[in-house]
Amino acid sequence: MILDNVENLVRPVFPFTAIVGQEEMKLALILNVIDPSIGGVMIMGDRGTGKSTTIRAIADLLPEIEVVSEDPFNSHPSNIELMSEEIKEIFTSKNSLSTTYIKVPMIDLPLGATEDRLCGTIDIEKALKDGVKTFEPGLLAKANRGILYVDEVNLLDDHLVDLLLDSAASGWNTVEREGISIRHPSRFVLVGSGNPEEGELRPQLLDRFGMHAEIRTVKDPTLRVQIVEQRSEFDKNPQKYLQESSIEQNKLKECISNAQMILPSVQIDYDLKVKISEVCSELDVDGLRGDIVTNRAAKAFAAYNNKEQVTKEDIRQTITLCLRHRLRKDPLETIDSGNKVQKVFDEVFN
């Protein structure tokens, strides 16, 4: 009876596999979950198109992860790169670590968040008085090995966006106060969403997101009715709806887990790498991030389709997501819809 009450207290999440349309956004999220080194995804689109619902749904879909018990940084029990300094010392001294399994963390960053809330704070008074480093973890610590979601990222203060992107790129967060320094792992899939009508991100910040997905309001009346009906059914009886969706959800869970396992063995031919770089060069993409992310995304897509060799089609399906926001453009233009990227892809890959 107590368990039933606890279940009822947990807010049900709309199932990922039941979300109609928005294939581009769904694919970008799945690929980032398979390979977080892709660098996150920026989702721009109209209001009320299910951005937040989809992001929460992908987090709910993921298999549980093993963490060190009572560790505020979700430290991995055997991977040193994903351990806090304290856990690393215990691990290297061959002491045993008690572990537990938790759901993949899904952390929301509110627009009004301060730097201390994001990065964490050091208790200077205690450090000076007792000589003990006391650290109050922030959202970057809680998001380690999970997903950090920033709604309306285009309205977030620039210095907070810089901190976020630095942590996402390096995988570490460093807090320094009065000569005292604390460093902890902070590896997460960064997901930002926003409405282009409320302003674009600075190009140099936009470039730091691995992928950019565009979503539009569904125009087809039949599909709109389907979406409304599905949502009504879910709201009426969430547990029943989740049960009906469980087969499809479990299939996708297995598919993602399998893709994560075979990803390290996925290969991409040298000729295809050259053609990817040729596309980036033809599009006049600054830097090499576009080349790197496209290679990673193509590998993740191949793994998602249970293949160990990347094909031209894998690149076609992912290259627009990786490059559309890196194109040089007139300040008055909106981000290219992808036609330009696909056109150059067809020319280069023939």
- Classify the C-alpha dihedral 275-280-283-284 as positive or negative: negative
CA distance 68 to 75: 6
Question: pLDDT by residue (tens digit) across 209-239?
Answer: 889 988 877 777 888 888 888 888 888 888 8
Q: What is the pLDDT of residues 176-197, one digit of tens each?
A: 776 777 888 888 888 888 877 7
Question: Between 224 and 276, where is the model more confident?
Answer: 276
Contact 148, 109 (CB under 8 A): yes
Q: Which CATH fold would you assign to the domain 9-62+103-215?
A: Rossmann fold (3.40.50)
Has residue 100 got a pLDDT over 50? yes
pLDDT digits (tens, 9 = 90+) for 58-97: 888 887 888 888 888 888 888 888 888 788 888 888 777 8
Instruction: Judge whether 324 and 343 are in contact, CB under 8 Å.
Output: no
Q: Look up residue 274 and give its two tokens.
A: 């050259």
Residue extents of the structural domains in the chain: 9-62+103-215, 264-349
* DSSP state string for 17-51: GG--S-HHHHHHHHHHHH-GGG--EEEEE-TTSSH
Residue type, 143: A
Question: Does domain 264-349 fall into CATH 1.25.40.10?
Answer: no
Residues 6+ apart with CB under 8 A from 208: 39, 165, 168, 169, 289
Q: Catalytic residue positions?
A: 289
pTM of the model as a whole: 0.84
Q: Whose structure tokens read 């008055």?
A: 332
Do 264-349 and 9-62+103-215 fall under one CATH topology?
no
Q: How far apart are CA 251 and CA 258, in angstroms?
A: 11
User: pLDDT-derived band of residue 312, with 50, 70 and 90 as boundaries?
Assistant: very high
Residue 154 has which token pair? 């285009």
* HSE, side-chain direction, 13 A CA sphere, residue 265: 8
Beta partners for 191? 41, 149
CB count in 10 Å sphere of residue 255? 16
What 3-state class would DSSP assign to 4? Answer: helix
The token pair that represents 232 in the structure block: 């009504």
- pLDDT band per the 50, 70, 90 thresholds, residue 3: very low
